Every structure is written in structure tokens, then in C-alpha cells.
């Protein structure tokens, strides 16, 4: 029994440096990828929450709508209208023209404002889900807003998906060097993988 214990200790002492070397292979060096910005943060995207105000008519109204996955919104009397890719001013003009063309109103004032935009965080995060986007939101801030990493997170290979393209980002590098922290855009999706160790 004593001999097998001593053998176990000797084996552990001999092999532990090899295991520890494997754990430190993710050094905080290099650069994170350059991720192209979307066409414009001013352009509307799926999941944007909007307020559409119809004024200058006998029955003024305000409607809370959300751009769906097909890039459409739905309004009373005119049904669906394309919103993704347009600015708020473009969309307001499109809504106005549609109401007038379909003879619901002769004159109409339309204003469109964005109430909320989101980024999405999933995987090995304490509170996965969507986070309200702000112009200064970075990758590390989004992860902090979601409660931070779980114990099993692989912090050196976080995936950022933008415009259907995936980029692997080293968060440890971004934390060490703020210039390597990526600025997020509305609709970005962050996936934190599980570490094998």
C-alpha cells in the first residue's frame, strides 16, 4: 500500500509539468482579427424595436413594432412593409407614401425612432441572452453585462458572428490590450465555447 502510494506520488510529480504546459498554451499574444463594420449603424436591422408615430390625421397614433427576421414591420391598414437596410427617415417616407398611395390619408406626417437594438450572447456565459446595444458597446463589455464567463469558458476563442461571417476573438488579449477589444454593431452574436480543460 505504501509502495503504491509512493509510486503514485512519483508518477504525478513526473507528469504534472506536462499537463501544466498543456494548460498554458493559450498565451496572451498576437492580434484579434479585423472585423469589418456593417454598412451603417444607422441602417435598420432585424430585431430592432421601433416606434412609428402617425400624425397630422384625424386619429393620430403611435405603434411599437419590431423588425422581423425577414426585415419587415407590420402597420394597421397597410400590412407589412420592408424596413431592414433603410434609415429611420427612409422608412418614415416609405410608410407615408404607402398610406397616401392606398388612399387611407391625403396628408400624413410620419416619424420613426429606434427604441432598442440588441446584440446576442450565448454559450459559456453566466446569463446568456440579448443585451441592449449602445454605440460604445465592446465585446468585453457585452460579456461583462451578461454576467461574465462560466468556469468552463474558453476565453481565448470566442466567436463573433456579424453579417453571417464568424470571427474567432481572444478575450484575454482584449482585456490586456483595449485596442484589441472589438466594437460591436447591432445584431452581432457572440458565442463562448466550452474549454476541453
Helix/strand/coil for 69:
coil
Strand partners, 75: 79
What does pTM read for this prediction? 0.66
Give the three cell numbers for residue 195.
Answer: 474549454
Give the three cell numbers for residue 150.
Answer: 462560466
Instruction: Lowest mean pLDDT of 49-53, 126-130, 179-183, name the range.
Output: 179-183
When the pLDDT of each residue in the chain is averaged and rounded to a whole number, the result is: 84
Of 61, 81, 116, the residue at which a domain comes to its end is 116
- Measure the N-to-C terminal CA separation of the chain; round to a whole number of Å: 31
- The mean pLDDT of 20-43, rounded to a whole number, is 61
Domain assignment of residue 192, given as a range: 117-197
Q: Are 123 and 194 members of one domain?
A: yes
Q: Looking at residue 146, what DSSP letter applies?
A: T
> In this structure, what CATH number is given to the domain that contains residue 97?
3.30.1950.10
Q: Using only C-alpha atoms, what is the Rg of the chain? A: 25
Q: Are 125 and 157 members of one domain?
A: yes
Q: What is the pLDDT of residues 95-127, one digit of tens each?
A: 999 999 999 888 999 999 999 899 999 999 999
CA angle 22, 23, 27 (to 5 degrees): 100
Q: What is the pLDDT of residues 153-171, one digit of tens each?
A: 999 999 999 888 999 999 9
Residue appearing with cell numbers 509512493: 6
Q: Are 189 and 160 members of one domain?
A: yes
Q: Are 121 and 196 members of one domain?
A: yes
Give the three cell numbers for residue 64.
Answer: 411599437
**According to the model, what pLDDT value does residue 17 have?**
43
Q: Looking at residue 135, what DSSP letter applies?
A: T
Amino acid at each position: 500500500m505504501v509502495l503504491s502510494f509512493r509510486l503514485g506520488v512519483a508518477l504525478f510529480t513526473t507528469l504534472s509539468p506536462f499537463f501544466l504546459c498543456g494548460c498554458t498554451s493559450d498565451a496572451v499574444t498576437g492580434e484579434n482579427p479585423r472585423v469589418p463594420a456593417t454598412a451603417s449603424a444607422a441602417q435598420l436591422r432585424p430585431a430592432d424595436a421601433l416606434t412609428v408615430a402617425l400624425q397630422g390625421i384625424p386619429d393620430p397614433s403611435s405603434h411599437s413594432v419590431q423588425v422581423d427576421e425577414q426585415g419587415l414591420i407590420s402597420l394597421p391598414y397597410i400590412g407589412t412593409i420592408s424596413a431592414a437596410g433603410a434609415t429611420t427617415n427612409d422608412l418614415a417616407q416609405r410608410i407615408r407614401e404607402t398610406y397616401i398611395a392606398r388612399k387611407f390619408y391625403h396628408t400624413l406626417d410620419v416619424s420613426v425612432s429606434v427604441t432598442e437594438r440588441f446584440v446576442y450572447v450565448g454559450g459559456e456565459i453566466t446569463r446568456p441572452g440579448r443585451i441592449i446595444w449602445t454605440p460604445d458597446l465592446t465585446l468585453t463589455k457585452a460579456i461583462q453585462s451578461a454576467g461574465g464567463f462560466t468556469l468552463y469558458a474558453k476565453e481565448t476563442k470566442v466567436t463573433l458572428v456579424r453579417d453571417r461571417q464568424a470571427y474567432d476573438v481572444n478575450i484575454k488579449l482584449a482585456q490586456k490590450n483595449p485596442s484589441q477589444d472589438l466594437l460591436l454593431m447591432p445584431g452581432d452574436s457572440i458565442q463562448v465555447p466550452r474549454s476541453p480543460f
